Amino acid sequence: MPGATPAPAGVTETGRICEEILMNVTPRETRVAIVENGVLQEIYIERTRRRGLVGNVYKGRVVRVLPGMEAAFVDIGLERAAFLHVSDIQTCETLTGEHGPGERRPPEITDLVREGQELLVQVVKDPLGTKGARLTTHVTIPSRYLVYLPGSDAVGVSVKIEDETERARLKGIISEYRAEFGGGYIARTAGEGATAPALRADMQFLQRLWTSIRERAREARPGTVVHEDLPLTLRVLRDFVGGKVDKVRVDSNETYERMEQFAGRYVPEMLPKLEHYPGERPIFDLYGIEDELARALDKRVQLKSGGYLIIDQTEAMTTIDVNTGGYVGHRNLEETIFKTNLEAALAIARQLRLRNLGGIIIIDFIDMQSTEHRLAVFKALEKALERDHAKSNVCEVSALGLVEMTRKRTRESLEHVLCEPCPLCSGRGTVKTAETVCYEIFREILRNARQYEAAREFLVLAATEVVDLMLDEESASVAELEAFIGTPLRFQAEVLYPREQYDVVLL
């Protein structure tokens, strides 16, 4: 019925995960939510002014070569120069060493690039914080079934395709057609079961696209983009949609029509799963996603048992602390700790995906005496991370209950996308107490009194709570200070001043 508001889907059958993709489109922002069994797992946000750069191909110019870092900085037209490491520069050669042709050495950065040189590069990691984008000259172009490697002759198959017969079939087809088209190819997960004509059509499309990119690169000026990846709404159909997705719902009719055309041409099996959501209630509100996003910005994550997580994101790493909180269990302390850690492992895997936390991650589980319990928690964490699209590497639980892991980071975390450092605390996360500010003002007055002995009066402008404290609990200290410097003090509350701001004015 048009305009109706259907309920979120749950588990369709025992043990089966029902996965839906929801799209909320506004004029300058697109948000895509991955929902499993009605619970938000991942969120992708693309804004017109700040679209992700991963996959884009640029014509860049080397602006600086740093032999000590084995890297170069390349201007691709962004605010900050991008970073290109020697390992990301395409070369299949080793160079002769100083002692003659018998000695071979890996190429150094100065052997491969020079300042002012123009390069065709691809972004593999978005700018993060104060760091520029990460580049590679190993350009890869994805399509529906394949990834094209222009500078290679390799043939590979996604590790997620486990059937050896199917892997051999795909390799055989690609190898046969590769003689016609050239280059290297990797069969994507979506290529499982693809017919030979479909794979050939993909290879032909990729060849045409690569030829077009090279022609644009020859004519383009350094610092310009020569190929942009698909917008988020279409990348979802290309990258995230497979046989496990039950439905893709989008609340914009214009976007739905564009996706329908794209699916009809490239992924026709997805047409029955595409759905335009016309309901009056916002689609994200229907699934409780707005509330989940608000909670995903909190440091504290409440567990159903009564325990909780504390997640601290820093520049270098993310730390996650597990606490029992109000959960007291029913049997003994060890069992209580084990159940809390087990629940925390599942919650942590979800939070990593939801918040898009990457880099080094340290998890402080509650200390467990039992080796079996530590192993069970570790296995539960590994199992929960299997559905994560980002690659992760997890080390076993240490004797201190710590788990060290890494998660691949190619885009900014949810916090960095939605938030900025607090202007009051400058990102510290804390502000000085009113009492601390009072004593800072006292010291400032003393400094000024010694420097300007002819002052008739000092006027102190400060936040209301600071002035109230001075005139109440600290009134005796104010009187002593006035007697010591021999100059009267006057206080004026400024309602627009944050707690830490104040001014001492000489009159």
Reading the chain (507 residues) residue by residue, the pLDDT tens digits are: 334 444 444 444 445 678 899 999 988 899 999 999 889 999 999 887 666 788 899 999 999 999 988 999 999 988 889 999 998 887 644 443 444 444 556 788 888 889 999 999 999 988 877 788 999 999 999 887 899 998 888 899 988 788 899 999 999 999 988 888 888 999 988 788 888 888 888 888 888 889 889 898 988 899 889 998 888 898 888 776 655 788 999 999 999 999 999 888 777 878 889 999 998 899 999 899 999 999 999 999 999 988 899 999 887 899 999 998 776 666 788 888 899 999 999 999 999 999 999 999 999 998 888 889 989 999 999 999 988 888 889 998 777 778 999 998 878 889 988 888 888 777 778 889 999 999 999 999 999 888 887 778 999 999 999 999 999 999 999 999 999 999 999 999 999 999 999 999 988
How much is the pLDDT for 365?
92
**Distance (Å, whole) CA 90 – CA 93:** 9
Cβ of 78: how many Cβ atoms within 10 Å? Answer: 17
- pLDDT, position 102: 46
CB 303 within 8 A of CB 344: yes
Residue 381: CB partners within 8 Å, gap ≥ 6? Answer: 345, 348, 349, 363, 394, 403
Q: How far is CA 476 from CA 170, 423, 433, 443, 464, in A?
A: 85, 33, 19, 16, 19
Q: Which of 388, 386, 490 is nearest to 441 (CA)?
A: 490
User: pTM for the complete prediction?
Assistant: 0.74
Strands 489-493 and 458-462: parallel
pLDDT of residue 14: 46
Q: What is the pLDDT of residue 230?
A: 84
Number of residues assigned to the chain: 507
- pLDDT value at position 474? 92
Residues whose CB is less than 8 angstroms from the CB of residue 478 and which lie 6 or more positions away in sequence, other chains included? 470, 471, 489
**Which pLDDT score, from 0 to 100, does residue 104 have?**
56
Residue carrying the six token digits 């309901």: 279
The number of CA neighbours under 13 Å toward the Cβ of 62 is 22
Given a contact cutoff of 8 angstroms between Cβ atoms, the answer to whether 18 and 12 are in contact is yes
pLDDT (0 to 100) of residue 96? 39
Q: List own/partner pairs for 126-129 with CB under 8 A and 24 or more apart.
A: 126/52, 126/53, 126/54, 126/410, 126/411, 126/412, 127/53, 127/78, 127/79, 127/80, 127/82, 128/409, 128/411, 128/412, 128/416, 129/315, 129/412, 129/416
**pLDDT of amino acid 243:** 58
- How many Cβ atoms are within 10 Å of 180's Cβ, its own excluded? 10
pLDDT of residue 178: 85
What type of residue sits at position 271? L
For residue 96, how many C-alpha atoms fall within 13 Å in the half-sphere facing its CB?
Answer: 5
What Cα–Cα distance (Å) separates residue 85 from each residue in 65, 110, 111, 452? 10, 11, 13, 57
Cβ-based burial of 507 (10 A; exposed 0-12, middle 13-18, buried ≥19): exposed
Give the phi and the psi of residue 263 in degrees, each rounded to 5: -65, -40
Cβ atoms 492, 440 nearer than 8 A: no
DSSP state string for 367-396: P-S-HHHHHHHHHHHHHHHTT-SS-EEEPP
- As beta bridge partners, residue 44 has 32
| pLDDT of 328 | 64
Q: Which of 319, 394, 316, 310 is nearest to 363 (CA)?
A: 319
